[in-house]
Amino acid sequence: MVKVLVTGANGQLGSELRKISDLFPEIEFSFTDVGELDITDPWKVADFLGIFKPRFLVNCAAYTAVDKAETDIETATLLNATAVGILAEQSAEIGCKMIHVSTDYVFNGRGPRPYKEDDPVDPQSAYGKTKLEGEVLCMKNNPEYMIIRTSWLYSAFGNNFVKTMIRLGNERDELGVIADQVGSPTNAADLAHAILTIISSVENNSKSFVPGIYHYADEGVASWYDFTKAIFEIARINCLVNPIASEDYPSPVQRPAYSVMNKSKIKLNFGLQIPHWRDSLSEYFQKKQ
Ligand SMILES: NC(=O)c1ccc[n+]([C@@H]2O[C@H](COP(=O)([O-])OP(=O)(O)OC[C@H]3O[C@@H](n4cnc5c(N)ncnc54)[C@H](OP(=O)(O)O)[C@@H]3O)[C@@H](O)[C@H]2O)c1
- What pLDDT score does 197 carry? 98
Confirm or reject: Cβ of 27 under 6 Å from ligand 1: no
**What 8-state DSSP symbol labels residue 214?**
E
pLDDT at 252: 87
CA atoms within 13 A on the CB side of 147: 26
- Helices (H) and strands (E) in the chain — how many of each? 11, 12
Task: Give me ligand 1 centre to Cα 206, in Å.
Answer: 30
Among this protein's residues, is 154 annotated catalytic? no
CB-CB contact of 170 with 162 (8 Å): no
Please name every residue paired with 30 in a beta bridge, in sequence order, or none if there are none.
Answer: 5
Average pLDDT of the chain? 97
Ligand 1 neighbourhood includes 77 CB (under 6 angstroms): no
Q: Is the model's pLDDT at 237 over the cut of 90?
A: yes
Q: Whose CA is nearest to atom 43 of ligand 1?
A: 11
Mean pLDDT, residues 145-161 = 97
Ligand 1 atom nearest the C-alpha of 83 is 31
248-270 residue pLDDT tens: 988 889 899 999 999 999 999 99
Percent of the chain exceeding pLDDT 90 equals 97
Residue among 105, 115, 127, 216 flagged as catalytic: 127
Q: What pTM was computed for the model?
A: 0.98
Nearest to 230 by CA among 221, 181, 288: 221
- Cβ of residue 13 lying under 6 Å from some atom of ligand 1: yes
pLDDT of residue 251: 87
In angstroms, what is the span from residue 226 Cα to ligand 1's centroid?
25
pLDDT of 185-223, one tens digit each? 999 999 999 999 999 999 999 999 999 999 999 999 999
In this predicted model, what pLDDT tens digit does every residue of 79-125 receive, in sequence order? 999 999 999 999 999 999 999 999 999 999 999 999 999 999 999 99
Is any atom of ligand 1 closer than 6 Å to the C-beta of 79?
A: yes
pLDDT surpassing 80 at residue 289: no
